[in-house]
């Protein structure tokens, strides 16, 4: 039985570039939406040329391919009246508009939410910025690392002797894009009920603060105490021993919340933690555990931990992840081809009616293929 993609027939016009906005439209495309990127004439989305390695697919960055698969592209100079009219024709046919410029930029270009919604009240308009508007940061560059720096999150990873530690991936961008997609879908549901469109807005700082909601709630209600990172084997500033990442004879193992007595029995220790508080004596307990964990290889400990229902896992690299076969069993690995080059990539994290919701068509060339809707056929 073939199921219809949930967003089949939905038309999205996406002014955004780089990661946050395009991630939102990627999620909509995976669910069946028809997404057209509006790109600057001549250059296009700058992520086409943002190389994080020497790998290029059909002359363009893997970043661009990863986040723009399944979309189409229209090249436009928004200063030219003829191109502006083409964009308005597309908006007239669209259900959703997305943008992620700094506050005020899309308004100066003439396609801000007020004028778009005045022309088409049923439109769902999604907007992402770095820091929102109406505050002292609103005009600053909205980039992932900078949002991490301002959010306080860099003081949660690493150990007590370390300086601030950045997360090694664009977490603020991806979370903001996911939040925007969430809001867009909510407004589409409302539109289906009442016919009313709407505006949904988020920002990198809002998304990355939301990621910390649990710990910020603790901070707000314990007298504003700063996080106390462990002095060794760090993993979480607020959790007691044995929580951490430890060396073994041939790798590393992660150990989560567990009974210290149960863990000591697995390690054949003679109750060495009696009378020790798991948080106040966190570093001493971890140091004792580390001595024993380094005596045997990872597989040895994992077998023991699994048998005893200890919460632990081997620390895998990407090779180990792929070789586990889990991604393959979940049908998360896809492949697409453009310009005669094939490229393996991750598919959507969603399953709809038992099947992976994902588009496997490649990222578009700049300005093509021509959009099939909102086009003057005369």
Q: Which residues are catalytic?
A: 173
8: Cβ–Cβ under 8 A, 6 or more apart, which residues? Answer: 32, 33
Grouping H, G, I as helix, E, B as strand and the rest as coil, residue 120 is: coil
What count of other Cβ atoms lies within 10 Å of the Cβ of residue 143?
17
Q: Dihedral through CA 164, CA 167, CA 168, CA 171, nearest 10?
A: -150
CA dihedral sign, ordered 311, 313, 315, 316: negative
| 87/94 Cα distance (integer angstroms) | 10
Between the alpha carbon of residue 196 and those of residues 24, 46, 112, 178, the distances in Å are 21, 34, 18, 22
| 44/42 Cα distance (integer angstroms) | 6
Q: What angle do CA 56, 58, 63 make, to 5 degrees?
A: 45
Give me the residues paired with residue 335 across strands: 344
Grouping H, G, I as helix, E, B as strand and the rest as coil, residue 58 is: coil
Q: How many CA atoms lie within 13 A of 126 on its CB side?
A: 30
| 256/245 Cα distance (integer angstroms) | 9
Give me the residues paired with residue 295 across strands: none
Q: Please confirm whether the linkage preceding 57 is cis (ω < 30° from 0).
A: no
Backbone angles phi, psi at 97, to 5 degrees: -125, 135
| 158/213 Cα distance (integer angstroms) | 19
């Amino acid at each position: 039985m073939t199921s219809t993609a949930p967003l089949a027939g939905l038309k999205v016009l996406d002014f955004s570039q780089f990661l946050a906005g395009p991630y939102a439209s990627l999620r909509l495309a995976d669910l069946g939406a028809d997404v057209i990127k509006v790109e600057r004439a001549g250059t296009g989305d700058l992520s086409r040329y943002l190389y994080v390695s020497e790998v290029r697919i059909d002359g363009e960055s893997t970043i661009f391919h990863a986040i723009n698969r399944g979309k189409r592209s229209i090249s436009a100079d928004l200063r030219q009246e003829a191109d502006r009219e083409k964009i308005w024709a597309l908006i007239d046919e669209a259900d959703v508009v997305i943008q992620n410029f700094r506050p005020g930029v899309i308004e100066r270009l003439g396609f801000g939410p007020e004028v778009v919604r005045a022309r088409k009240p049923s439109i769902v308009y999604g907007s992402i910025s770095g820091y929102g508007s109406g505050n002292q940061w609103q005009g600053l560059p909205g980039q992932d690392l900078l949002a991490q720096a301002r959010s306080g999150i860099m003081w949660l990873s690493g150990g007590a002797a370390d300086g601030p530690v950045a997360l090694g991936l664009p977490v603020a961008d991806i979370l903001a894009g996911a939040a925007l997609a969430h809001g867009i879908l909510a407004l589409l549901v409302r539109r289906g009920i009442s016919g009313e469109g709407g505006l949904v807005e988020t920002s990198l700082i809002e998304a990355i603060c939301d990621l910390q909601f649990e710990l910020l709630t603790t901070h707000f209600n314990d007298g504003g105490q700063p996080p106390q990172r462990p002095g060794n084997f760090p993993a979480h500033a607020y959790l007691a021993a044995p929580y951490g990442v430890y060396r073994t004879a041939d790798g590393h193992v992660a150990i989560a919340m567990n009974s210290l007595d149960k863990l000591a029995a697995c390690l054949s220790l003679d109750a060495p933690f009696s009378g020790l508080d798991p948080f106040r004596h966190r570093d001493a307990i971890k140091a004792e555990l580390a001595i024993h964990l380094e005596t045997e290889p990872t597989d040895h400990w994992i077998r023991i931990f699994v048998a005893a229902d200890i919460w632990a896992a081997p620390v895998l690299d990407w090779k180990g992840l792929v070789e586990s076969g889990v991604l393959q069993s979940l049908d998360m690995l896809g492949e697409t081809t453009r310009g005669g080059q094939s490229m393996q990539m991750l598919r959507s994290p969603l399953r709809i009616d038992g099947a992976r919701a994902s588009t496997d068509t490649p990222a578009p060339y700049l300005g093509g293929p021509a959009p099939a809707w909102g086009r003057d056929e005369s």
